Structure 1
Amino acid sequence: MSVSLTLKNISRSYIKDNEKFFAVQNVNLEVKPGEFLTFLGPSGCGKTTTLRMIAGFETPTEGQILLGDKDVTKIPANERGMGFVFQNYALFPHMKIFDNVAYGLRIRKESSDLITQKVKEALAMVGLEKAEHRYPNQLSGGEQQRVALARVLVLRPQLILMDEPLSNLDAKLRLHMRTEIRRIQQELKLTCLYVTHDQKEALTMSDRIMVMNKGKIEQIGTPMHLYDDPATPFVADFIGQANLFYGTLVSVEDKYGLVDVAGRRVKARMGVLNPPRIGGKALLIVRPENLNIGTSENCLAVKLINRLFEGDRIDYQFEVVNGINPKPYSMSVPFLPGTSLLPEGSTLDASFVPDAGVLLNGE
């Protein structure tokens, strides 16, 4: 069964060195039934604290948490009807897999026959039908993570919360478990909140992503929307790779702005949520894969300072000629057999189509 979730002005503050410190501040969020929503951000941004408040492990200093139409802000965690998948699995090492999954049902005092039926169904969902008589230490990390998920699914929770559940797995297992978790969530139409600092996990698994920074929401949107139309420099730099060029907005026509970057005027889309003003500082954002080598009507003069051969592509590191270069920029271009690498120190033009660039307020 799926359920909607609403956060209204949720804050969590602490007293640190006699000063008030906000771990989470004024978070407002509406989660739709059956939605997979990811909390994404760096360590210390408030994403896990937000999840723990929703679960009932921490109490908000201010605000309300609504599960459907019910205010659960002060209701104990065990009465909220939510399932929590922990980062470290939290399995009982002395219990067999069957008993680990059955634990919550036994606490509810359900009948033995019903427990057996539900446990077998839950283990089948995660592909561990033959592991019920084994112990956790006899399973791989990925299998233990599946058991932790089955232990939650068997209780048929209204909402599933996951706190970086794949962080202890190797890269190949993480990729496999992403697919499995998403498959199960869609098949059962579960409402799921997922915490991670891994942008690839967020982009590949989510219906929507909430990007957090310093306890506040930077932007909420679909993976494609966040990637193509970041609202802030933080979101642009945190979601994927991004080149951030500094300039001055010269003019605006339709949805495009003309920006001066180090003496070159280039055209790009105006940001929807945080556009620059004419005559003011502008931030031009272009993804590395959208830059091409060659002269066009929309190009910047650049100097190559490094190059990385990656097999099918070449990642060129460069600086803007006569521009502000807080850090090296990146341009990723296809490598065609029979071509040679451009030498370091080369000066050339890096071009992009206007729709591939976004202009934000750079004040």
Structure 2
Amino acid sequence: MSVALTLKNLCRSYVKDNEKFWAVDHVNLEVTPGEFLTFLGPSGCGKTTTLRMVAGFASPTDGSILLDGRDVTNLPANERNMGFVFQNYALFPHMRIFDNVAYGLKVRGESSSEIAKKVREGLAMVGLEKAEHRYPNQLSGGEQQRVALARVLVLRPQLLLMDEPLSNLDAKLRLHMRSEIRRIQQELGVTCLYVTHDQKEALTMSDRIMVMNHGHIEQLGTPMELYEDPATAFVADFIGQANLIEGRLDSDENGYALFEVGGRKLRARMGRQNPPKKAEEALLVVRPENLRIAQPGESGFPLEIVNRYFEGDRVDYDVVLPGSGQKKPYSMSVPFLPGTKLVEQGAIIEAAFTPEAGVVIRR
């Protein structure tokens, strides 16, 4: 399989208070043509710094960047054939929309007829055919972001780079723009690197997600792989909500583990990415929606209700292991059916989950 982008031991370090600080710490990555890959992580994890090095806006301390096998590590940004969509749109306020989109084409020296053709094709692609004579301040935030996207796409970049492009939009518009960006990217088949700290954006838009923390890659995989088989506690907690139940691995067989917690042995999947060893302290990862009140006679483990939140279609409970001194409660999200009763605060219940819905990882 061909590779559109390769990062080899990519590093970026700074000196802070006379100590070396690694903003990006030996990142290795291969991106396939037409892939939508998201860099996901909290502020300061190194995702934007990595993107800026790929774009040529920042120089790596060490390592190399290859575009279609060609080393571009030391090339200036304008020679890399990459398109960058900024968080703040970066449109020229004194130019009409047509001229904003045409700007890069004019710099390239393309003919007027070719520029007009490409600009109108680009505006049609983002649904703004009728906006070419307007100015940026006459458009909504979502429309301005689409203009910024069109301005990049008309250049037909080998690689499309997007840095938190939806962070300045309201929640409803973000949802719409997620699907629009994904639709356009798939229609064009352009390879895309997308930076966000929003886990839902990453899950709904990406072919693969690279979760970063403290400058290094915590895990790289499809959205489903990260959600169902997290490699670390950080990934489990950052991708969606997760209960991280501390205990011990009793035994494992045929991909399933017996996990000991509170004197009970629970059966769950053994993590493929970061499996613990027998008798080792471990974590059981169970999503709130997979934890439920056990049926009569069903094997489970005790939990105490410390708070509840009625959400209409469901009830969210905060729960702790009785007598454990647990400081942070776990979460349990239970569908609420007409005629059923809410569990009272202070009650101790038996909770259960299917073995496939839990995964045991190294602590």
Q: TM-score range by the shorter chain?
A: over 0.9
Instruction: Give 1:144 deviation, angstroms.
Output: 0.3
RMSD of the alignment, in Å? 1.1
Name the residue aligned to 2:75: 75
- 1:217 to 2:217 alignment: yes
Would you say the 8 A contact 1:3–1:158 is kept in 2? no
TM-score after normalising by structure 2: 0.98
Would you say the 8 A contact 1:126–1:146 is kept in 2? yes
Name the residue aligned to 1:342: 343
Alignment of 1:147-296 (within 5 A): 147-295=147-295
Cα distance in 2 for partners of 1:249, 1:3 equals 39
Would you say the 8 A contact 2:3–2:30 is kept in 1? no
Instruction: Give 1:324 deviation, angstroms.
Output: 5.7
Cα distance in 2 for partners of 1:277, 1:114 equals 63
Q: Which runs of 5+ in 2 are unaligned?
A: none
Instruction: Give 1:69 deviation, angstroms.
Output: 1.4
What amino acid maps onto 2:352 in structure 1?
A: S
Name the residue aligned to 1:327: 328
Instruction: Give 1:297 deviation, angstroms.
Output: 4.7
Q: Deviations over 1:263-312 (max 9, x none)?
A: 11101111112111111101000001111102455422000001111111
Instruction: Give 1:322 deviation, angstroms.
Output: 3.0
Cα distance in 1 for partners of 2:113, 2:30 equals 39
Instruction: Give 1:340 deviation, angstroms.
Output: 2.1
Q: Which runs of 5+ in 1 are unaligned?
A: none
Cα distance in 1 for partners of 2:235, 2:166 equals 23
Instruction: Give 1:38 deviation, angstroms.
Output: 0.1
Name the residue aligned to 1:26: 26
Would you say the 8 A contact 2:7–2:29 is kept in 1? yes
Name the residue aligned to 2:53: 53
Cα distance in 2 for partners of 1:70, 1:298 equals 58
Deviates more, 1:244-253 or 1:224-233: 244-253
Equivalent residue of 2:98, what SS? helix
Cα distance in 1 for partners of 2:268, 2:184 equals 40
Instruction: Give 1:74 deviation, angstroms.
Output: 0.3
Count matched residues.
361
Cα distance in 2 for partners of 1:294, 1:209 equals 34
Equivalent residue of 2:235, what SS? helix
Name the residue aligned to 1:62: 62
Instruction: Give 1:244 deviation, angstroms.
Output: 0.4
Name the residue aligned to 1:359: 360
Would you say the 8 A contact 2:13–2:21 is kept in 1? yes
Deviates more, 1:292-301 or 1:119-128: 292-301
